[in-house]
Amino acid sequence: MEEDIEFERTSLLHMLGFESMLHDPSTIGAREENFTRWKTRYVHAYRKAHRAHYEAVADLAGQLETLRPKVHALTRMNSILELGPPLAATATIAADLKALDGALWVCPDAAEAAVAGKDALCPRCQWHADSTLPAESLSRLKALVSQGLADRFQRFKDAAIAAILKKAAAEKKQPGLDELLDIIQVADADRLVGVLNDDIVAFLRQVLYDENLVDEQLSLAPIVHHIGAIDETRVEEAVATLARLLTKAIKDTKARHGPSKRVRVFLTLDTPLTGLPAVSLREEMRHE
């Protein structure tokens, strides 16, 4: 709003005050005319500023619409926890998007606010000159989405993960997977939006989950021999020993295969299961 209009408003409030009018009632007519002229200027200035504000809001809303599909795509990518944890700062992007949707509401009377009558502010939105635009919040969301997508694309390019996905694509296990791999190579977020649907997300989670699983077998015979006879006083001790040896077997397996692997141990008798490596606990037991 224009400064001279605000200054004149303050002056008029003083001149139209009870004490001022009582002191010189003959000025009432002139001051009413002054108020009428000021109100005409105010209505014009308010409508102009109101219209400009919502034009800026509409521009930001258009930018948000362009960003919206990327937010949804990143939300889907963040849900693939088998790629590793997403950037912590991107955990609220869905809520941030919803908040901006509310902040970028456009007044139905944006073009011409109904302030020519008794209302000094738009009766639809109560806009006032101190209202601010959420431009900073939108810029922050853009930056978070860009960082988040870059991180997830990089996770997809990890050699081990890329090999799993290429194998699945070669076996034609999921429609659209070939196109997704092409998109990942060039980090094309715009194309990602139309390809990364819920079906592909579910498939990626399952295939990565399955491929990260390592099966090993653990013979019960050495453990049973090591624990020995169990009477009523040694039950808790025997269970604790079994738990410690199983935990060590899993830790040793993860150390060999990497921390990203999930370990599944099969307890067997003396005969090894076909195709499964054996976990040795002899060294551990030697130190008992």
What local confidence, expressed as pLDDT, does residue 32 receive?
61
17 and 123, same domain (yes or no): yes
pLDDT digits (tens, 9 = 90+) for 187-200: 888 888 888 888 99
Own/partner long-range contacts of 161-169 (Cβ < 8 Å, ≥24 apart): 161/83, 161/208, 164/207, 164/208, 164/211, 165/204, 165/207, 168/203, 168/207
Q: Which helix (H) or strand (E) holds 265?
A: strand 262-268
Asked if 170 contacts 95 with a C-beta cutoff of 8 angstroms, the reply is no
- The distance of Cα 237 from the centroid of its chain, to the nearest Å, equals 47
Of 134, 152, 170, which closes a domain?
152
Domain count for the chain: 3
CA atoms of 204 and 174, how far apart (whole Å): 9
What local confidence, expressed as pLDDT, does residue 70 receive?
94
What local confidence, expressed as pLDDT, does residue 157 receive?
87
pLDDT digits (tens, 9 = 90+) for 75-113: 999 999 888 888 999 999 999 999 999 999 999 999 999
29 and 39, same domain (yes or no): yes
Structural domain for 65, as ranges:
3-152
Of 137, 152, 167, which closes a domain?
152
95 and 9, same domain (yes or no): yes
pLDDT score of 51 more than 90: yes
Beta bridge partners, 218, equal: 267
Beta bridge partners, 267, equal: 218
Q: Which phi and psi (to 5°) does residue 104 adopt?
A: -105, 25
More confident residue, 255 or 233: 233
More confident residue, 22 or 55: 55
Give mean pLDDT, residues 142-155: 93
CA atoms of 211 and 288, how far apart (whole Å): 35
> What are the tokens at 270?
């003396």
pTM above 0.75, yes or no: no
205 and 264, same domain (yes or no): no
200 and 64, same domain (yes or no): no
Q: What is the DSSP letter of 273?
A: P
More confident residue, 213 or 88: 88
Give mean pLDDT, residues 121-127: 91
pLDDT score of 288 more than 80: no
